[in-house]
Amino acid sequence: MAEAALTNSRIETEYRNRTKKSAQLYQEALELLPAGLTHDSRTLLPYAIYAKRANGPRKWDVDGNELVDYFGGHGALILGHCHPAIIEAVQRQITEGTHWGSSHELEVQWAGLIKRLVPCADRVRFTASGTEATHLAIRLMRAYTGKTKIVRFVGHFHGWHDQVAQGSTSHYDGGRPAGILPGIVDETILVSDDDLGPVTDVLTKRDDVAAVILEASGGSWGQVPLPPGFLKGLRALTTKHGVLLMFDEVVTGFRWSRGGAQQRYGVTPDMCSLAKIVAGGLPGGAVAGRADILDQIDPDRAKAAGREKIAHQGTFNANPLSAAAAIATLSIVEMQDVCATAEGTAEELRAGLRKILVEEGIPWGVYGEASSFLIFQNPKGVAIDPATFDPLALKFKGLKGAKDANLSHRLRISMIANGADFMGAPGGLVSAMHTSEEVARTLDAFRTSVRWMKAEGDIRG
């Protein structure tokens, strides 16, 4: 079938015309992989691009399109793609062994870097992913307190394991997602983060809460920002009630600042989970936090404290390749303020995007903290001035709760057709390797994209 016959949309036609090999691969993948994908958040309509290689802030797809990349390895790449120090470390390591099945010097160096950088990190335990890190942290906190309930916030994402399933990407009313045991859902108390009222209420009325966990950026790397004073208030509240506080710093660690969101906001939790940047762009994660909580994993110290030893295994914990990449990355983070560099570029991008919305008369909003940027596409057509847009006014219900995935897909395929790859929010994460050149290219792509969307009736208001 001729491409033009598939759609009347210019946007879709431009996208399809540039991504023919990706379209073929997607057709093959549909017979092999559910939804043709390996990660839910790589969904894109009509189909996603297939990447081939990357360097610094850019990547190339199988059709040869060069794109400014804002996925950044789902946030794992604060130093962009293929940083020479990481390549050198991984190449050296691969010739010395990828898995010794032994303790090794690199894991000690790696943990030392985390301890120096992250305020709450008295002890570190490595895992193979962020999902594993939040899973382990929850087990440790329940065991430590002898209590079962975990308080979470609607729309905060902590990986895909059962304990954190409802209310993160669906079932915002706390309902039970298919495949999750009712007992597990019952042990989670899901509350709104619009203000401190609901969590205060829970902690005041109940004495069975082990811990409160949250993304300190606000849900989904800041798509729903927290009200001012929320973290400090939550720290005081949890301390008052003897409840543990855990920050999920899988995205914010080594990005919101060298010491993560906890350092940026000056609030130290009892525990945190780390992944993405912590492993230098290779697979890995970690739980870091108070020695008395993590030492439940240590049989002697657990015994001395009158506690049961908590089991924790994992074939790829602190694997040497990830450790080598991690040390290379975190050493640079420690020596140079790459977080500030990336944040400066993100601010330039946010300002540029905002200016285009104003100039083109589009009632969307641009926001985001540190090196993130987010675009609110205003699916319900509420009155918005892009020059003064304040996401806090919309809260969860108006932001993530109101999201129209199709509108996001439309912007993203337009952006790809014009040379930039955004994440689904829509938005993205900027690395320290992005420069004003990438910003300028992205802004050109954005102006063209919103004009196309306007012409096709995608923009309300």
Ligand X SMILES: Cc1ncc(COP(=O)(O)O)c(C=O)c1O
| Nearest-angstrom CA–CA distance, 161 and 28 | 29
Between the CA atoms of 272, 278, 284 and 288, what dihedral angle is there, to the nearest 10 degrees? -30
Encoded one letter per residue, x for contact with ligand X by CB under 6 A and - for no contact, window 215-234 reads x-------------------
Q: Does 127 bind ligand X (CB under 6 A)?
A: no
Q: Does 295 bind ligand X (CB under 6 A)?
A: no
Q: Does 131 bind ligand X (CB under 6 A)?
A: yes
Q: Does 449 bind ligand X (CB under 6 A)?
A: no
Residue closer to ligand X (CB basis): 419 or 424: 424
The stretch near ligand X (CB under 6 A) out of 176-184, 238-246, 247-255, 444-452 is 247-255
Q: Does 163 bind ligand X (CB under 6 A)?
A: no
Q: Does 251 bind ligand X (CB under 6 A)?
A: yes
Binding to ligand X, residues 380-439 (CB under 6 A): none
Q: Does 21 bind ligand X (CB under 6 A)?
A: no
The stretch near ligand X (CB under 6 A) out of 126-134, 237-245, 297-305, 365-373 is 126-134
Q: Is the distance from CB of 193 to CB of 224 less than 8 angstroms?
A: yes
Residue closer to ligand X (CB basis): 121 or 417: 121
Binding to ligand X, residues 39-68 (CB under 6 A): none
The stretch near ligand X (CB under 6 A) out of 47-55, 156-164, 177-185, 425-433 is 156-164
The tokens describing 182, both together, are: 């009712």
Q: Does 161 bind ligand X (CB under 6 A)?
A: no
Q: Which residue is nearest to ligand X (CB)?
A: 130
Binding interface with ligand X (CB under 6 A): 74, 129-131, 134, 157-159, 215, 248, 250-251, 275, 285
